[in-house]
Amino acid sequence: MDEFGILRDAKTLMPTFWQGYLTSYFYIFSLMILPIPVGVVVIQCGVISVIVGYLCERVGSKLNLKHKLWLLLPFFAFPVLDSNVYPMRMSVYVFLELLLAALFLFAIWEKRTLTKSEKWVVIILTAIVTVWRTEAIYYSVWIPMIYLLIFWKKEEKREKIFMVAKVVVLTLLVMFPQTLGNKMVSGDQYEITSMVLPIAPLLCEAEVQGETSLMETIDKVLDTELMIEGYKSGKSGISVFWSEPLLIRGDYTSGEYKEFKSAYYKLIMKFPVVFLKERANTFFNSNGILMNTTELYDTDEVANYVEFRENYKGNHAISAQLRKTVLSILECRSLQDYNEKNLFHKVVWSILPQLIVLLIVLIISIVKRKWQIFMVLAGLLGKVPLIFLTAPSLLFMYYYGIYLTGNVVLVYGIYFLYGKYKGKQV
């Protein structure tokens, strides 16, 4: 749904702030190079390919071609290939994030400081990854902090101050349009989406326990009766949010919104088990793909779909059956019935193995006092609790960055340990 809204606005050079204005500019840039809808995917794959090629060449600069090909293995995982052809911000974002972390790790391993060109790449990437995803706001502090800690004794004080200042200034400049756009277009609704999943069972519990005061405070912003009725009928909080236009009150004040958030946090403190149970359910069900999306564009009467089906060239797959077959294989689904997932689905489309690998490496870095590596990995893992607490839906996409990074660490770790076992320089 979202990508067609962004595409609709991009053709008039207008940004969509709900998915980040940087997403809109990426669409606009891509369509200027290849002016058909799939142009976004083609350019996206090109950007990803350049990043992967650079990383593999840097890691395997002393390897022969046969060994270099092994370095490509984590990027051929089915979830990665599937995400590469999904034109949303996360698909490119995770590779930019991986590149940012890799630049620091390269400098650590080679026992040097960043080159002049690498510093500018770090500055630009920090601004982009901080602003493009809401949960990455802490990068604006994390990146300057690890820069100072890693290179504290390797650079002059003046150079370090200038580097941090450049990161902060550019990040603020990139952040300003998004902040302004959010206020103008979506108001508080984007922030509210991070609360609606847990707030539904919390309100039901509050009703049972007679917490009328907190419920009345929340009702000034969000219709508690609609939310409770929707949840009891089997809908999730986010489903109620999108299906009930009157759920959000239209006349609440900024003061009432602050009280609403305060009441939400108080409900969490009063009923922590209810909150954590819902959050754990969301986390564990974010493994795997939710539903059949391969046929929606061809059959659904959503206005955005109809507009592009009827008015634009290059808007259909060359072979709908081939497209469906490829996606069924990548998403581990039955070739006869797309809605039927095979036994490998939950294994292949899971972030748990990758998360465990990163946590193990994090612990090893602590035990071996590799504090610089610890700082980089801790920063990447810092988003996990933030997403856990605020994820508005059951989507693998939210944890895709952990999946990709963990996959790279896992495959490269096995490869280099094997080489060490065989006594080879790999």
Question: pLDDT tens, 318-328?
Answer: 888 888 888 88
Q: Could you tell me the pLDDT band of residue 311, with boundaries at 50, 70 and 90?
A: confident
Instruction: Please give the model's pTM, rounded to 2 decimal places.
Output: 0.92
pLDDT of residue 290: 61
- Mean predicted confidence (pLDDT) in 153-171: 91
| Cα 60–chain centre separation | 28
From CA 396, how far away is CA 94, in angstroms rounded? 13
Average pLDDT, integer, range 82-90: 90
Q: What does the domain layout of the chain look like in residue ranges?
A: 189-284, 296-348
Helices (H), 368-399: 371-381, 383-390
In 3D space, the residue among 17, 83, 40, 101 whose CA is nearest the CA of residue 398 turns out to be 83
The yes-or-no verdict on residue 296 having pLDDT over 80 is no
Task: Give me the helix-helix angle, 254-270 and 196-209, nearest 10°.
Answer: 70
CB 286 within 8 A of CB 396: yes
pLDDT of residue 417: 77
Of all residues in the chain, the percent with pLDDT exceeding 90 is: 56
Average pLDDT on 65-84 reads 89
Report whether 261 contacts 254 (CB < 8 A): no
> What torsion do the CA atoms of 242, 247, 248, 250 make, to the nearest 10 degrees?
120
Full 3-state SS string of 263-320: HHHHHHHHCHHHHHHHHHHHHHCCCCCCCCCCCHHHHCCCHHHHHHHHHCCCCCCCCH
d(CA 242, CA 247): 9
Confidence of residue 291 (pLDDT cuts 50, 70, 90): low
User: What's residue 384's pLDDT?
Assistant: 94
What digits encode the pLDDT tens for the residues 206-256? 999 988 999 999 999 999 999 999 999 999 989 899 888 889 988 889 899
Q: For residue 144, what pLDDT is reported?
A: 93
Rounded mean pLDDT, 52-71: 85
pLDDT score for 208: 92
Number of residues written out for the chain: 426
Tell me what the mean pLDDT of segment 77-83 comes to.
93
**Between 266 and 331, whose confidence is greater?**
266
Per residue in 4-37, pLDDT tens?
889 888 888 988 888 889 999 999 999 999 988 8
**Segment 328-353 mean pLDDT:** 83
Q: Per-residue pLDDT for 394 more than 80?
A: yes
Q: Which residue has the tokens 């999108």?
A: 242
- Flag whether pLDDT at 156 surpasses 90: no
**For 185-204, how does the pLDDT look when each residue is reduced to its tens digit (9 = 90+)?**
877 888 899 999 999 999 99
Q: Is the pLDDT of residue 293 over 70?
A: no
pLDDT band at 423 (very low <50, low <70, confident <90, very high): low
Rounded Cα gap, residues 161 and 139, in angstroms = 17
What pLDDT sits at residue 2?
81
What is the average pLDDT value for the chain, to the nearest integer? 89
Q: How far apart are the first and last CA of the chain?
A: 45
Residue 425 has pLDDT above 60, yes or no: no
Over 80: is that where the pLDDT of 421 sits? no
